Amino acid sequence: MLVQIQSQQDAAIPFIQQLYETSFPQHERRDWMQVMYLLAHPPMQLHLIRDGLQKVGFAIRWQLGAAWYLEHFAVDAALRGQQYGSRVLREILAASPDQLVLEVEPPFDDMSQRRIRFYERHGLLLAPFTYHQPPYRRQEPPVLMRLMSRPAIVLEAEMALIARTISETVYEPYQ
């Protein structure tokens, strides 16, 4: 289901861009040209989610040593509820060597609570520590988020190390 995109000329790019820009508010995503720039910069990987020839969604993940950080993950709204998200998340978890980490909005409304429950059903656990997503643009403030992971983040020192690694690898070099 996951097909890595390695070229800005890939035929799936317009589909992914449209889904990326409609699925995430601007303060929770990069400018699209920066995503295209990062295609040539491992450890970031952009994946099309497809079922046969049908484009279903996309995932952006980063390799952080022995851990994977799932930066963005979205399924086309017209295809939600058909278990695509679950199937892809299981595939991502199976390919994650030691740990998978991702950010979610705090559980302040029905949608954010449903999103957290989705990840919990797949074995990810909400870290009990405060986390601020670094801004994608220098002029913007950090965004209050929560980290989820498998296995669980149980020590505050571990949380601080993961947060620093995410910031130094995913955000700071590309502001």
CA distances from 63 to 10, 73, 117, 156, 174 (A): 22, 15, 25, 22, 16
pLDDT in the model for residue 104:
97
DSSP class of residue 127 equals -
Query: Would you kindly state where each structural domain of the chain is located, as residue ranges?
Result: 2-174
pLDDT in the model for residue 158:
96
pLDDT in the model for residue 66:
87
For the chain, what's the residue count?
175
pLDDT in the model for residue 61:
97
Provide the residue type at 160 as one letter. Answer: A
User: Pick from 98, 163, 175, 168: which is nearest to 130 by CA?
Assistant: 163
Cα 102 from chain centre: 6
Collect the ranges in the chain with pLDDT lower than 70: none
pLDDT in the model for residue 96:
84
DSSP class of residue 105 equals -
Q: Considering only CA atoms, give the Rg of the chain.
A: 15
Provide the residue type at 116 as one letter. Answer: I
Q: How far is it, in rounded angstroms, from Cα 144 to Cα 116?
A: 15
Q: What kind of architecture, by CATH, is found in domain 2-174?
A: 3-Layer(aba) Sandwich (3.40)
